[in-house]
Structure 1
């Protein structure tokens, strides 16, 4: 009887675990397959890298990221021409989730408005649907057809530490519901380190609603531009997989109850 009681306590928290819709991974990059300290090659995961040394693979000797032994380094110095690191087109999706980890090093020179992260169907502003700027401790919202950093500050982030950025995007004509919330048509939800920091943020660029998101890119909008950003564990999923924080709270409480019950049982033995 006691054994069955403990089993029922063990199983109880599992009833609160959120059921997530199976997500299809459309793109993934962890920089493990490239030669360290060398330019990441075009082809494969990257369709365009201009200039060629805008993106290099680096050995993670300082353990900046929690997984993997290499990361990507985006870096430019006094660059005044067009510059872009664009991922190869993946299977398009009207809604889903873009995820990445990044580390913004304070010891590197910086000028301009930071790295522009754009999601869309192609490389230019007219093919962009959503955008943010990662800029010297600030996350800015992109705005207008020019995808400029004029949409206001979304939040701030700490430099010299690894941050997680998740963007739940919806370029469909209807509301997109996901485990964690919902996002209106042609808007995005932005999470930093698991916390919702931007709810139904407006899109930017010229891509029409109803056209699938099929690529992303990093670029810079300053003349000249100097900046360095470390990135790793890039993923695009067709289904957003951020669970509701309330479910985590319920699960944590249930697990806490389990631990107390288990300790009491051990003490009474």
Structure 2
């Protein structure tokens, strides 16, 4: 029993103290530099902007209700498509290519629409559909994972290297990605479509060309080369803390026995 508890203590401490992978910020956008109501255009951050068909918008928008919790003067990106045909697309221009990366952003999907579809285009690598609180990967089956009419934080840890990577108390295998929403791991080691060991160059936000209304609000977009570790969920921390406390209590009893 004593050996087991000591082993549990070692595992718990290791999980709490596991080193964090280094990450370098290679793209950042908070939309504060844009004029409210203006359409986004190609610039040093966005290489391709497609929103010309009637009914499509990529617009810098005021946030007087502080939806993104950055104050009432905050601005965010409104992606809207009521064209029933054309798609809206926004291609990023990171400062460097990468194989291991973390895409982080905040999003809000209003009710009454079907959300939006964006291709993590790391082209040809993975696509993620957001639709009424549901997520679909690579045109697969939808699963409900988040409530609409609420602000959420998204982290995608993508590993296109030839080796697994450890971060925090988690790991992401070669040729897979992890998807976190509100610091909860939703998808673990989901397979990519690309050949491992090849560079990724950008991510893309876009709407579908389907005949339905789509809208998503996005803010605080960051792309890191490397892994920017999502904060562990409260449940994980609670379980680890309880395990450490349990072991410490029993160790103290041995010393005073």
Q: Name the TM-score class by shorter chain.
A: 0.7 to 0.9
RMSD: 2.6
CA deviation digits over 1:154-181, x for unaligned, max 9? 5421111101111111111221222231
The structure 2 residue matched to 1:71, chosen from 73, 76, 92, is 76
Matched residues in 2 for 1:166 and 1:249: separation?
21
- TM-score for the superposition, normalised by structure 1: 0.74
Question: What residue number does 2:254 align with?
Answer: none
Contact kept? 1:17, 1:247, Cα under 8 Å: no
Is 1:99 matched up with 2:104? yes
Distance 1:58 1:82, change over 3 A: closer
Pairwise mapping of residues 4-153 of structure 1 onto structure 2 (< 5 A)? 19-52=19-52, 54-67=57-70, 69-107=74-112, 109-110=113-114, 114-121=115-122, 127-142=123-138, 149=139, 151-153=140-142
CA deviation digits over 1:230-264, x for unaligned, max 9? 000111112222254577337977xx9xxxxxxxx
- TM-score for the superposition, normalised by structure 2: 0.77
Report the Cα offset of residue 120 of structure 1: 3.6
Pairwise mapping of residues 116-265 of structure 1 onto structure 2 (< 5 A)? 116-121=117-122, 127-142=123-138, 149=139, 151-204=140-193, 207-240=194-227, 241-245=229-233, 248-249=237-238
Report the Cα offset of residue 129 of structure 1: 0.8
Contact kept? 2:26, 2:94, Cα under 8 Å: no
Distance 1:17 1:31, change over 3 A: farther
Matched residues in 2 for 1:250 and 1:156: separation?
23
Question: What residue number does 2:6 align with?
Answer: none
Matched residues in 2 for 1:213 and 1:115: separation?
23
Unaligned runs of 5+ in 2: 1-15, 246-257
Contact kept? 1:131, 1:203, Cα under 8 Å: no
Matched residues in 2 for 1:137 and 1:247: separation?
24
Distance 1:178 1:155, change over 3 A: farther
Unaligned runs of 5+ in 1: 1-15, 122-126, 143-148, 257-269
